[in-house]
Structure 1
Amino acid sequence: MSLNELKREGDINKSSLRSQWNKQLSEQSTTLLQEDERSFLKQSMSTPCLEAVSDAEGCYITDVNGKKYLDFHGNSLHQVGYKNPYVVEAVKKQVEELPFIPRRFTADITIQAAQALVNKTMSKDYRVLFTPSGSAAVGLALKIARKATGRHKVISMWESFHGAGLDTISVGGEYVFKKDMGPLMPGVLKGIPYNGYRNLINSEDPEEIASFCLRYLEYMIENEGNIGAVLLEPIRATDTHIPPRSYFEGLGRICDQNGILLIFDEIPTALYRSGTFYVHQQFGVEPDILVLGKGLGGGIIPQAAVLVKTEYDCAGDISLGHYTHEKPALGSAAILATIDYIDDHKLGERCQVLSAFMRDELNKLAERHECIGDIRIAGLLISIELVKDKGTKERHDDLAERVLYYCLERGLSFKVSGGNCLTWHPPLVVTEEELWCAVSLVDEAFTALGK
């Protein structure tokens, strides 16, 4: 696999720019990174590490040298900020009162957490299972779909990500997770994801693109048969592609007509990250199964959940999610504290205001720099796609990487997706001033690197 192919998946850990970055690290950082490499298995996109950190609070991470980074990456789990005092206190209290709930028992805290998630849905017609990770939650959703429909086939999307387990890389659409893995889970077919900027019909009309994707999906269903579920990210987290409402209306109709369950993976995008508590609420179509994770644990506890429409509560004769932490005391406390904090501090409304601010600022940025091919924003899910030429839309991977390191050196961290997209997931507690500083720094980077 070539470096360019790796960069297409976001892996830039072995480039010449990374080598230059390593040369400026302190002795303490270098020692810790060397110890890290001796301690952990290597894997693409995670190793070698950038730096060693000593703290994470609010919107910032701090490295061992005391340098702070405004973190617009955060593994998409810091909606309420790092070390949120409200969540920390709730988890501490739970540790002292009831740290663990053994299997076959329950407690008020975990029932409250499940009900809180259901109460945030439009229909309030769901049952819940908790899992320790998003990947496990997606696997559980696939099992429920098989049990409920009696069909094992599932349609997921190219370029998607649903986790790193063997089942979830099967339904995922990124090659770097499947390389050398041999036979994967049978019955998985790949549909064409919505992409308003790069698509097979070279269209810029959202309705036309949505119609094309849906027609292809129907073609797959008609010619394959025995499809039990369609799985997708309503808004793709990595490069923020946002389908029109008609896409979801058509998706719901197709699934209903064919007895297919609709599964939405909102692991990195729920909890107002996209502008609504659950992403699908802005499109008016509820899934049969909803998968949550990442920020669900308040940036502290690894926590995920599966919400299933009540009519598909049909697996009482099998062990669907026989997890050690299937009734998580600490995770439930974190869930409740996170939701309360979001509601009490009106972070949903705040997200909408900040989103409008960012849209204006980034549109101004695009007017100043020809390298910006497209800007996509939903709430505080932000993607800036860099191109060499706006007409040809040729990806500018090299510039994206150079901008990343320019910003890292000056204290801004974010993800590069698809090789050429600057992907920003700032926490909902970010200030307008911090957002403006990030835009200004990228503006500065484009000007400096363009020369």
Structure 2
Amino acid sequence: MSVSHTLSDQSLRSEGDTNITPARETWKNAISDPKTQQMLAQDSQYFLHQAMSTPCLDALTGANGIYIEDAAGKKYMDFHGNNVHQLGYGHPHVLNKIQQQLVELPFSPRRFTNQTAIDCAKKLTEIAGGDLNRVLFAPGGTSVVGMALKLARYITGNYKVVSLWDSFHGASLDAISVGGEACFREGMGPLMAGVERIPPAVSYRGAFPTQDGSDVHYADYLEYVIEKEGGIGAFIAEGIRNTDVQVPSKAYWQRIREICDKHNVLLIIDDIPNGMGRSGNWFTYQEFGIEPDILCIGKGLGGGVVPIAAMITKDQYNTASHVSLGHYTHEKSPIGCAAALATIEAIEQENLLAKVKADEAYMRDRLEAMKQRYPIIGDVRGVGLLWGVELVTCRESKERALKQAEQVMYRCLELGMSFKVSQGNVLQLSPPLIIEREDLDKALAIVEQAIGEVSL
């Protein structure tokens, strides 16, 4: 028995480039390597098919540093990495610490603690700073979001949540309930009750644009909903929208913090994709001079090797001791915590936060110069080593250049560079933080070449 579901083309493209377009079929048909063809056929046979992943783009046999390598031996600079590759792949410090931990203590059952988990929790409270001094670990970011929602309900006694349209907080039922992308809710039926969504702070093509590009009025919308709806316990949002790279102003986030304090609403920042240095800060909220009540992190926390995530909150919210907020099998994983500690140590030892800020200025200059040369680029936005290049068919109408964005992506793949396209027309560029300037320059030259070719 099957049920037919339909979504708009725009909804299907919201989180990333899809695997069901004619361009993907053309890419697939061009693959001539027998080993790759065999692996892709086997993958398609044994895995459930789902948007954006199976059937797959290519088959990998290696990942090292800033590169992934396919079965035919071709290497790609990875500017996507599912947001786990802050340190690239196979970072020696991370691997060494994991190997050492495997020998000493490979697993820690619940009801027991271990020094590696304790040290990792302590270190996370140090880099988060402020009043964020209590930690819970989980196997992945979606689970951490679930724990944060549960804690917010318990603390406030209110189950209602406000989130943003176009947001992504994970793929479980509770996470898609608060997420703002329709492609994850399609066909799922009733979800978690009490979710109100408001427009995100988008300056380029926002729901309520202003002449001067200001975005504080989007924060005022939150107060309007809180006052009209009542019973709101939490507001959840990414500090910076990852996929199509939306960077709110400092004034916006400070107004959000003020509103949450005024109405006793907990502020949950989802920094799962962008934490661990991508903004040039440990966490994106530090870019805006605020502090959340609950912070969710994951993805790159495990150094691109081990799945691990964490919820960090304040001592004053350590009040649910008789409730199992997480209760996950790998709750205090020595392996995961060893990877996380090693990741933090590598970022510190290699002074990557300062490097990322220097790279930010370079990326901004290069991309803005491209925008001046190519009318197809409607907007450039970003922070640290997270950038979005929005392609349009016309700068005045801002019509999304869907076909051209796909052409650019597949051309860049041909030239040895991988990234994803979000919202159908935004080239999302998020290289490893360890990338050398020479390689960054080479990658941007590939992007410019591809854009130049589709602009002819």
**TM bucket, shorter chain:** over 0.9
Instruction: Say which SS state the counterpart of residue 262 (structure 1) adopts.
Output: strand
Post-superposition Cα deviations, 1:123-153, rounded to whole Å, max 9, x if no partner, equal: 1542000000100000000000001111100
Query: Contact 1:196–1:204 at 8 Å: present in 2 too?
Result: no
* Aligned equivalent of 2:321, options 316, 320, 331: 316
Query: Contact 2:382–2:388 at 8 Å: present in 1 too?
Result: yes
For residues 146 and 3 of structure 1, the distance between their equivalents in structure 2, rounded to whole angstroms, comes to 35
1:56 corresponding residue in structure 2: 63
> Residues 184-333 of structure 1: matches in 2 within 5 Å?
184-207=191-214, 209-210=215-216, 212-333=217-338
Change (3 A) 1:346 1:94: same
2:188 corresponding residue in structure 1: 181
* Aligned equivalent of 2:30, options 20, 24, 27: 24
For residues 234 and 214 of structure 1, the distance between their equivalents in structure 2, rounded to whole angstroms, comes to 13
Q: CA deviation at 1:203?
A: 2.1
1:406 corresponding residue in structure 2: 411
For residues 382 and 185 of structure 2, the distance between their equivalents in structure 1, rounded to whole angstroms, comes to 29
1:375 corresponding residue in structure 2: 380
Post-superposition Cα deviations, 1:387-411, rounded to whole Å, max 9, x if no partner, equal: 1111111111111001000001111
Change (3 A) 1:5 1:250: closer
Query: Contact 2:11–2:181 at 8 Å: present in 1 too?
Result: no
1:441 aligns with 2:450: no
Instruction: Say which SS state the counterpart of residue 311 (structure 2) adopts.
Output: strand
1:163 corresponding residue in structure 2: 170
Please report the TM-score for the alignment, with normalisation by the length of structure 2: 0.97
Q: CA deviation at 1:11?
A: 3.9
Change (3 A) 1:8 1:315: closer
Identity rate of aligned residues, in percent?
Answer: 47
> Residues 361-400 of structure 1: matches in 2 within 5 Å?
361-400=366-405
Q: CA deviation at 1:29?
A: 0.8
For residues 326 and 401 of structure 1, the distance between their equivalents in structure 2, rounded to whole angstroms, comes to 40
For residues 101 and 83 of structure 1, the distance between their equivalents in structure 2, rounded to whole angstroms, comes to 24
For residues 292 and 146 of structure 1, the distance between their equivalents in structure 2, rounded to whole angstroms, comes to 20
For residues 443 and 282 of structure 1, the distance between their equivalents in structure 2, rounded to whole angstroms, comes to 29
Query: Contact 2:17–2:420 at 8 Å: present in 1 too?
Result: no
For residues 305 and 249 of structure 2, the distance between their equivalents in structure 1, rounded to whole angstroms, comes to 34
1:108 aligns with 2:122: no
1:343 aligns with 2:348: yes
Q: CA deviation at 1:435?
A: 1.3
For residues 86 and 437 of structure 1, the distance between their equivalents in structure 2, rounded to whole angstroms, comes to 26
Q: CA deviation at 1:202?
A: 2.7
Query: Contact 1:11–1:44 at 8 Å: present in 2 too?
Result: no
1:91 aligns with 2:98: yes
Q: CA RMSD in A?
A: 1.1
For residues 15 and 297 of structure 2, the distance between their equivalents in structure 1, rounded to whole angstroms, comes to 23
Query: Contact 1:7–1:397 at 8 Å: present in 2 too?
Result: no
Post-superposition Cα deviations, 1:16-38, rounded to whole Å, max 9, x if no partner, equal: 11111112211211111010011
Change (3 A) 1:295 1:22: same
Post-superposition Cα deviations, 1:46-101, rounded to whole Å, max 9, x if no partner, equal: 12101100010110000011100000000001101100010000000000000011
Task: Name stretches of at least 5 consecutive residues in structure 2 with no aligned partner.
Answer: 1-6
Task: Name stretches of at least 5 consecutive residues in structure 1 with no aligned partner.
Answer: none
1:420 aligns with 2:425: yes
Query: Contact 1:72–1:424 at 8 Å: present in 2 too?
Result: yes
For residues 57 and 254 of structure 1, the distance between their equivalents in structure 2, rounded to whole angstroms, comes to 45
Paired letter, 1:75: N
